[in-house]
Amino acid sequence: MKHDTPSGLALARYASAFAALGSEQRLSVLRTLVRAGPGGIPIGVLGERSGITGSTLTHHMKALAQAGLVTQVKQGRSIICAAAAYPEMKALSDFLLSECCADASSPHQEHSHD
């Protein structure tokens, strides 16, 4: 049976996104933005809600933005942050589950913990 495998470019993109999520603080920031919805929230509110502020928040937002998971848009004197990559996040979960159980002897094989 032939397995569809992502191209090298797609794998690199997924790896970059997962690497960006490899920090508890970045994951917390992204979850806070997902909870806020597609309209986003000002960076100050993001800091209050996530408990991460200042240069640390700026550093984590930069990593998430480089991975294509969030955006920052200046509106007047505010910076609005949003988890604008909902399709990318869905693609990440689809990537993980796309070949679920493909090599298992039965599709719904349960693991025993003897």
Using a pLDDT cut of 70, give the percent of the chain over it.
86
pLDDT digits (tens, 9 = 90+) for 15-50: 888 888 889 999 999 999 999 998 999 999 999 999
- Flag whether pLDDT at 2 surpasses 50: no
- Flag whether pLDDT at 1 surpasses 50: no
- Bigger pLDDT: 90 vs 58: 58
Do the bridges between strand 71-75 and strand 78-82 make them parallel or antiparallel, or are there none, so unpaired? antiparallel
Q: pLDDT category, 111, cuts 50, 70, 90?
A: low
Q: Averaged over 55-81, what is the pLDDT?
A: 93
Render the burial of 36-71: b for 16+ CB within 10 Å, e for the rest: beeebbebeebbebbebeeeebeebbebbbebebbb
Query: Which residue, 68, 70, 3, 67, is CA-closest to 30?
Result: 70
- Give the domain ranges of the chain: 10-90
- Give pTM, 2 decimals: 0.73
Instruction: Please give the CATH architecture assigned to the domain spanning 10-90.
Output: Orthogonal Bundle (1.10)
